[in-house]
A and B are shown apart, each in its own frame.
Chain A
């Protein structure tokens, strides 16, 4: 066993494992050291210098986030000298940050603002030297405002290392350093897949979602518009964070009620679309598995960041992709066909809003002509959870107290299989439940497939269905996809047996619960708790398999016909194409 490190922090003795940073050791001693560039998800880079501490034995000032604590160290964190240095760093940082807090999307939710408040920063002697850099709204999903950037490098680490997209980088050096899309072009022309992890990790308003709340409010006021809405699985367990609810609290009923009060004429649930995706996708899997109608392994396609990534970087995998549209697109197209028909509403009047944990959904809704298969754009606006939380705050709704309501069941009733779509592995688990039924004609004796759950980057597992071994893989965080696809390629080239039959990929770590449009501050603890909120609902639900959803049965009986029918194909399926990494 390795010897433990013994040191003191502000006189408090601590014992930690070797390699522990001073910052982490301080937490153990209940000492808070301020940080700015450090994020729990990411390796420390020591970029900002706010977390500086003094090693009393040597008199040296060190950055606590990236310095391992040593035996016998006597660390001081709060002497006037240290505070003065930190204030100096902060003053310099603020001198090149625009004073636009009141009109910034991060107002009251900004790490730099919080730090300035904690330090009691008032005026400054330093001249303001805010760089004159243009806004990049080219993706219409993510907005880059390099003037507000504090050069912490989080977005770059997450884009390059965690997502393997390499759309963002620093350019230039020293005072002229700035964040930019790779090769200094508009972000929309870069390899960016719009996952929004950059925005979710940004400490300030330098990278935010493309805000469309005003457009939605305008439509809600428009007497000619018939506004309907749907919420994604992961939204229900995250939006509460903006209102002081505990991590992972499932607030589905309050969300429905709030949406009705905002003026939406019908409140649907993307979980219904998730059930429908499973009905079509499990059928697709069964026919590829048993009848050889398409390439195996089948790869899930409900994550638009992943779809974009595949089209740009792994075009050789197109044949493996499920042709099923993502759940919110299915609810969108059915709102303007099935629902319109049943309710006798002109689909031209229907305005579909989807509330998603995701920035990439904003691009998905216009990604191809199949996203308008109702004859209109199937989803008109896709909002992130963060935008939705702001709308609740703007609407005067007492979100904490509002009584729970039910969705409009026609496109809103769902099973637990739909709910767990929001967590990594959930789509696979939901698909296996229904695929088992399709292959054997009966439900699996136990519908919990734990091998798909949890935050391990790549999860593998196998099960036997009707005497046939089915091997599956689940990857989340785009950098984890490579090894899974490489195994498939290697086996394919060598003519060996396939390593997997079915692969699920989600672009964001943790799946949609950790999505780029979710409330800030996601850590693995928070991702786990949000996912737990979904699995609890699944456990407690009446129906846990998508094929048990009576409203789905009604949809096929009344409108779509058979599973995989022409109509189902026209409305619920899509295609893919190889895209260049760079548009220029």
Chain B
């Protein structure tokens, strides 16, 4: 039996679960041993990060102490405790992308946005991170934005990537403009 079918079985059992998202999430995972990380994954998938209040609520619903949840959240780089921004740009730094020049792309985006890897723009629009292999090395060098993959990038043209995302203005310029208003 595949992992997916197990998940489906559980999902079908909780069709009438309460409206609240976290309660549904907890109901879905709480009877599966070792499933905390899956629940946290899903939570971060929806919110972009795991806010403290949500972690507490999930813990209460799943019967998992907050201490445990934070052990997991801080152990894995993947999880975020603070809102990373509206657009999460993940530049692949895996082997294939690295050889194809992804560090250059990363630096280019850093310059465009005026932030360093792992940081967010002050207005909360963009978060930039380097990630290990995204699993589509044939498209190297690549980046993903909010899960959507942008493959075969010109590493000298970070601006172009940001344009594709739909926001061609470097964020500090946008932020200044917003401030001026």
Contacts and interface: CB of A to CB of B under 8 A. Distances in A.
Contact of B70 (A160, A171, A173): A171
B57 to A, nearest CB: 11
B2 interface: no
A417 B15 CA distance: 59
Interface string B56-85: 100000000111111100110000000000
A183 B75 CA distance: 13
Contacts of B74: 171-173, 184
B128 interface: no
Interface residues of B, number: 12
Contacts of A166: 65-68
Interface string A372-384: 0000000000000
B167 interface: no
A438 interface: no
A173 B68 CA distance: 14
Point out which of B55, B69, B70, B75 has the most chain A C-beta atoms below 10 A from its C-beta.
B70
Interface in B21-58: 52, 55-56
Contact of A170 (B55, B65, B71): B71
Interface string A174-205: 00000000111000000000000000000000
Contact of B56 (A160, A167, A582): A582
Contact of A582 (B66, B69, B71, B75): B66
A137 interface: no
A352 interface: no
A182 B67 contact: yes
Given A183-B52, A183-B55, A582-B56, A171 B66 contact: no
A169 B67 CA distance: 6
B55 A169 contact: no
Interface in B66-125: 66-71, 74-75
Nearest to B70: A183
A169 B68 contact: yes
B127 to A, nearest CB: 20
Nearest to A182: B67
A168 interface: yes
A184 B70 contact: yes
Contacts of A168: 67
Contacts of A182: 65-67, 70
A160 B67 contact: yes
Given A160-B65, A183-B66, A169 B56 contact: no
A582 B70 CA distance: 14
B18 to A, nearest CB: 22
A169 B74 CA distance: 11
A182 B68 CA distance: 8
Nearest to B69: A183
30 contacts: A160-B65, A160-B67, A166-B65, A166-B66, A166-B67, A166-B68, A167-B67, A168-B67, A169-B68, A169-B70, A171-B70, A171-B71, A172-B74, A172-B75, A173-B74, A173-B75, A182-B65, A182-B66, A182-B67, A182-B70, A183-B52, A183-B55, A183-B56, A183-B66, A183-B67, A183-B69, A184-B70, A184-B74, A582-B56, A582-B66
